[in-house]
Structure 1
Amino acid sequence: MAKHRRTNRAPSINSIGARIPEEQGLRLAATSRDDAKTFRKSPRTHVDDIAVDQLASAMKAKLAEKRKEGAGGWDNPLECSIERLAQLMAEALCKGKLVNVANYAAMLRARGASEQVVAEHAMRAFLQGSRETMAAKAEQLERLTASLSNIVHDQVVVMQAAWIEWEHGRGADDAMGWIHNTLCGPGHIPDEDAPYGMEAQAWFDANQSNPMPQCFCGRPSHIGWMKQGFCSEAHYAEAKVRATTNSEAPA
């Protein structure tokens, strides 16, 4: 069967081709062919290009801002060395300033900086920053240690003053005043309803910074033996008897 070409068929009387001039019809037909470029969709921008374009815009804005502040000279070796740019880039990275990192990287690339030189001086900046951070933490720790040492010292002095008052001064009641004032100020008077709030030894045993293992009866301990803790001499003696009996029992 012979193929009918579109150009050989006469347009229908009702078609658009019959109602427009022949030249305009040819142009319309050209735009409908597969190889026509008039209505072809432009290729989609890749996400890589979008990310780079966005960063570039941010970089330019940051540089413009710095120029208004009077900054500049990165392109002049007499004003700013490659080593200094590498250090600044490393410092910006440690601070999380990504746009600044990109700008310093662009400057280094424009200056033709050696990768080895950049790596060496950036690493030095990292190490220097690490040392400064460690030094700051050490200083903070020293201040904290000194503060805690002063607190402990003052607590000991209060106890000594209370003892002096009791032994050489106005007696136990006034001696107790020293201790009461020390606890009352920061709100450390024991609550009577708290566990062992009315038992001095048990309160100390339960609330000291490094308590001993709990007694087998469940109470806090102040007597230790064989990695065990006991709340009283009676329970300590009982445990020793059990241990001796078990060791003497026939196998």
Structure 2
Amino acid sequence: MSKQMEKIVMMDSDEAAHIQTVTGWVDRHGRFWGDDEYQARWCGATHMKCKNKPDVHPVHSTRGYCEECHREASQAKFLAMERVVWSGEPLTIFDSDKYFFDAESLADYCVENSLLPSELQLVICEPNYPPEFDIEQHCEEIIPEGGDYFSLPQTVRDAADALNKAIKESEPVSWSGSERSAIVSDDILTDEQGGACSMSQVDKQALREAAQNATDGPWEDDGARNVLIVRDGVATSLLTTVVGYDTSGLEDIRNAIFIAAANPSAILALLDELEAKDRRNAELNSTLERWAVDRAQSASDLEAAEKRIAGLEDENEYISKRFKEADLIVGRNLIAMRAAIIEWRATGDANNGMAWIFNTLLGPGELPSENEKDAQAYFDREDEQLDKEMMELHKWFWERNKRIEAERAAGASKGE
């Protein structure tokens, strides 16, 4: 068979290469992207519209995200959280790295930022503990095939148990925000702190008294830059001439419009509305606090019921295991009786047969096969599975006792 010759294509031949026009997308930096228009536009642009609400939200950097979408999503997440009454746990401001570990630090923050606790999005923190050490998983590559936790030396198992006991009894390493928002009363602030934290530090009572003592009006602007006090439909008083900073006079007119709108009647109406909302908010907070307390009690009752159910299930399993243990013991006795029959048949010696039965009072039940001639071999063969199941039972009892001891120790450390 002749070997096929490789085709030869010369460097200067038309077959080696030819000119061809290629069409595709090129970004503003000159990079060619072929048919990938999106990638070309993404690399060439600096900003893009919000993909969720392009007509509402402002544009954002192509290498960033829509801050309005993030804010709305964060707000929705916070509002969906379970609300619970704060009972002294560490707190954090939602979606931030600001933490408070006592009421004093929270009060100081409120005073510094002129905010009330109820105006903050506070989240209850949960403790972070070191993870427990799984010695069996740690040693899985060296444990013999078919082995388990008990294949490890007792000293190693004891050391691992001591380490995990220390971990369970340790203090938290750190704290993280949970899925529960905190209901914190403004009463944690002193009267002085509360006054400093009122909205924009406005003295609402002083503002109300000033509005009540002022001329009722109505007040109107004259379309120029004057604010007039009107009585009986007639402008009888020139309140002020507003002078702004611009030379066109437009700022003066806008200032006059604002001053006329912020007349005593309007201020009193706003204060009345604000106080009504404050009362309503206080009622809602009181209701939420009551619901939170009721929910906490219900959760406590549910937890107690679940523990009781778990305890009953554990007791039921324990009793079932004990019944199985009894069945295995009876089964071993039956095997011994059958072995006694085999011994008697094979040797004719009843005393040797009785030696297999020991002191049992149970009857032999089903007779062994006539083909069985070796009592010891029969007993070993039949007893092997029973012995395996018995060992599994003993292991289960041992693990249960260790778990109960650990739970009691944990409860004692917590003062339960």
Q: Give the TM-score taking structure 2 as reference length.
A: 0.19
Higher percent of residues as helix? 1
Bigger relative CO (Cα 8 Å, ≥ 6 apart): 2
Greater strand proportion? 2
Q: TM-score, normalising length from structure 1?
A: 0.29
